[in-house]
Amino acid sequence: MSSSPLASAPEGRPGLPGAALGGLALAALLAVALPFFTTGYVVYIANLLLVFVVLCLGLHIVIGETGQFSMAHAAFYGIGIYASALANRAVDLPYPFAMLFGALVAGAVGLFIGALALRMRDIYLALATFAFGEAMQWVFANWDSVTNGPNGLRIAPARFGPLEILSDKQAYPFVLFFCLLAIGFTVVVSRSRLGRAFRAVRESEVAAMAMGIDVRRTRVIGFGLSAAVAGFAGGMFGLFQTFIHPDSLGFQTTILVLTMVVVGGLGSIWGAIGGAIVFGLISEVLRQAPQYQEIIYGAILMLFMMYAPHGLFAFVGERIREARHGR
């Protein structure tokens, strides 16, 4: 398994070289300045990508950190969208409260499903969420009095006190801010005692138990957090979107997010973020060829699992290192 000659090298995070830092700074500047030099469409795509970054963070928590499987990410995203849109309409409070509400509802539903599914084997979570995703899509499409059913729901503009958000460009700074907030949150959780417990449970259930970690509770919390982050992404969606239709909350969306995380690299926050951006752009292109979408997504999932299980960036990095070492 560890026959690589690099295996014995220390694996601490190497300091970023100056060029990379400069590149990052440039990218950050570009990201902030984006609305000033591009069209509304580009900003719209950027907003969407940022939402997908947060969705990927959510899936990363459950797959990458706790090593379990959730197949209902789109459903929690949907719960977040509907819950925050309805809260926004019902109560005259600044929009972040609606977002928080969306995240809490999604998180609560996640905790409930997780607590039930994880009573037996951890793989039951995958199966229960598989069925839950389908059931939720049905609920979105049929609970007419709340979701307006198959006609879709109009989302009222988000308000921040006197400011009402009416365009993608206006929404962009907020979307960017909440995305950074979600990244910060995920990083803090991952580095915390809870995050270490997540990884302990992923690596060895019995050892985690011997260290005093409640394995089942840790798994349920991980899943609940992941659902809450997905719900938060739903709230972000409501910042710039005016309409939600149940069709866009099906298994297809779960697979899209999963593919992003897989492309970026399972187990790494930065992989999840990079995957969302890289594959988000690719999927935008793939939209032109819908008949190939399923085959391509499926093939990517299979091929990455076979040859690049740690994602595109790790794969490329390894190839470069190999080339440098003259092999």
Q: Should residue 91 be labelled a site residue for another protein when binding is judged by CB under 8 A?
A: no
In the complex with another protein, the residue whose CB is nearer, 93 or 314, is 314
Among 15, 41, 285, 291, the residue binding another protein under the rule CB under 8 A is 291
For residues 213-252, which are near another protein according to CB under 8 A? 213-215
In the complex with another protein, the residue whose CB is nearer, 104 or 314, is 314
* CB neighbours of residue 7 within 10 Å: 9
The partner residues of 243 in beta bridges, in order of sequence, read 154
Q: Should residue 123 be labelled a site residue for another protein when binding is judged by CB under 8 A?
A: yes
In the complex with another protein, the residue whose CB is nearer, 93 or 209, is 209
Full 3-state SS string of the chain? CCCCHHHHCCCCCCCCCHHHHHHHHHHHHHHHHHHHHCCHHHHHHHHHHHHHHHHHHHHHHHHHHCCCCCCCHHHHHHHHHHHHHHHHHHCCCCHHHHHHHHHHHHHHHHHHHHHHHCCCCCHHHHHHHHHHHHHHHHHHHHCHHHHCHHHCEECCCCEECCEECCCHHHHHHHHHHHHHHHHHHHHHHHHCHHHHHHHHHHHCHHHHHHCCCCHHHHHHHHHHHHHHHHHHHHHHHHHHCCEECHHHHCHHHHHHHHHHHHHHCCCCHHHHHHHHHHHHHHHHHHCCCHHHHHHHHHHHHHHHHHHCCCHHHHHHHHHHHHHHCCC
Copy the structure tokens of residue 28: 């950050």
In the complex with another protein, the residue whose CB is nearer, 283 or 293, is 293
In the complex with another protein, the residue whose CB is nearer, 112 or 160, is 112
Among 146, 302, 316, 320, the residue binding another protein under the rule CB under 8 A is 302
Among 76, 223, 297, 313, the residue binding another protein under the rule CB under 8 A is 297
Q: How far is the CB of 326 from another protein (least distance, A)?
A: 22
For residues 249-278, which are near another protein according to CB under 8 A? 255, 258, 262, 266-267
Stretch that binds another protein, among 15-23, 34-42, 237-245, 287-295 (CB under 8 A): 287-295
For residues 24-83, which are near another protein according to CB under 8 A? 63, 67-69
d(CA 174, CA 102) in angstroms, rounded, equals 17
Binding mask 131-170 for another protein (x = CB under 8 A): xx-xx--x---x----------------------------
In the complex with another protein, the residue whose CB is nearer, 32 or 120, is 120
Q: How far is the CB of 295 from another protein (least distance, A)?
A: 3
Stretch that binds another protein, among 22-30, 51-59, 195-203, 238-246 (CB under 8 A): 195-203
Q: Should residue 171 be labelled a site residue for another protein when binding is judged by CB under 8 A?
A: no
Stretch that binds another protein, among 23-31, 40-48, 127-135, 167-175 (CB under 8 A): 127-135
